[in-house]
Amino acid sequence: MRSFQLVFIVVFLIIYIFLSYFSTVTLKRLFQTQTQKYFQLIYGSCSLLLLLTFIFLYIYPNKPRDASNYSLYFYFNAILFIDFFTKIPIFIAGIISIFTKKSNTLKFAALIIALGLGLVMTYGLIFGNKQVRISKVDIEYANLPIGFDNYKIVQISDTHLGSLNKTSSILKKAAIGIEKIKPDLILLTGDMVNNFAYETEGWEIAFRKISSLAESYSILGNHDYGDYTRWRNYDDKIENLNGIISSHQRLGFQILRNQNTVIKSGNDSIFLIGVENWGHAPFPQYADLEKALEGIPENAFTVLMTHDPAHWESQIKGKKNINLTLSGHTHGLQWGIKLAGITFSLSYSTRKYWSGIYSHENSFLYVNTGLGMVGIPWRIDMPAEISVIILKQSFGNK
């Protein structure tokens, strides 16, 4: 894991230095007047400053695994990535201009594209992360008990409380939206925090407004185990984990850890299952699905909470008789592009199931893109999400 992180950092530094140098050279060739040369000098100096800050925060003397000041890292990451992505079109224009006569026109066009990218990312940093969307989907089942016809399940996920400042309106907006939905069941599918139990402090009112609206359950996500920080000893890590687990109850959620419980509606019932995190390496695999399924009748209607959709893809689809699986984890990379009404995200380059509804035979998966943020505090056309899954009996069963 650490060797992988070191390789990633070295590769990123090489690419960043390469991009910075050639984009600066491109601008130098484009700007010839004395005033414009000052701009080019400032541009190059900013790149050098960002490079030195990156080394200071990620290599020496600081390490991300030792940090708890998320805001410093997150906003630096945002500035760094804005700078990185705006350099790409300028770099490409510089390479192409070697082979074309209309080099200045091309460079100016690249500069405009770069400015546009910068504005879009800045918008996501300032405004996009404050938006909340409600996604509704109806799913029909032939084996759904009659008492659960039109049953509303609200799913939220990935609040990452350490990334939200105490004045954030996201949870307040979520509570208002969920209240209007009038849910029958509320499910939180992991990653309540980034690393630490203390991140849950001060959120009691906001969470209780949500959890008081209906019976509420939750599970742990990969971030909830505190695996992404350096602990003085194992006991401290376990104490932190126990604090996070107890905070779920304090905030109004009954946590399921490789367990199942009966959910009733009228005279009918279904089974709700909650497992611990399971993901492809390097993500932890703590889930014990067989243990969680114990005691459930073979033909019972089942809803599973598992944080990472990779679990459904690898261990459930076509292998287990689970009707509905709810996951989060992906965040849609907090960055999407809509083409012809279809939202695309770079998440698709790393995973097939990253947002929305998927199905295989009579098994459905819904992937929620989360309420909070991690890594970078922006959302670009990928707003925080509240999922509303409405269970329906199929027409043939009525």
Picking from 394, 392, 390, the residue whose alpha carbon sits closest to that of residue 154 is 390
Tell me how crowded residue 12 is: count the other CB atoms within 10 A of its CB.
14
pLDDT, tens only, 9-26: 889 999 999 999 888 888
- pTM of the entire structure? 0.93
pLDDT recorded at residue 32: 64
pLDDT, tens only, 148-184: 999 999 999 999 999 998 778 999 999 999 999 999 9
Q: Does domain 133-397 have CATH number 3.60.21.10?
A: yes
d(CA 203, CA 199): 9
pLDDT recorded at residue 398: 44
Before 89, cis peptide (omega within 30)?
A: no
Domain spans of the chain, in order of start? 2-126, 133-397
More confident residue, 324 or 344: 324
What is the mean predicted confidence (pLDDT) over 354-360?
95
Is 70 exceeded by the pLDDT of residue 102? no
**Is 278 strand, coil or helix?**
strand
pLDDT recorded at residue 39: 76
Is 50 exceeded by the pLDDT of residue 397? no
Picking from 385, 231, 219, 186, the residue whose alpha carbon sits closest to that of residue 286 is 219
Strands (DSSP E) along 168-227, which ranges?
A: 185-189, 215-219
| Sheet of strand 268-274, all strands in order from the earlier edge strand to the far edge | 259-265, 268-274, 302-305, 324-327, 363-367, 356-360
Is 50 exceeded by the pLDDT of residue 211? yes
Is 60 exceeded by the pLDDT of residue 272? yes
Picking from 267, 270, 248, 268, the residue whose alpha carbon sits closest to that of residue 257 is 248
More confident residue, 100 or 115: 115
Lowest-confidence region among 3-7, 107-111, 210-214, 332-336: 3-7
Is 353:309 a contact under the CB 8 Å cutoff? yes
| Sheet of strand 215-219, all strands in order from the earlier edge strand to the far edge | 132-141, 384-393, 151-156, 185-189, 215-219, 254-255
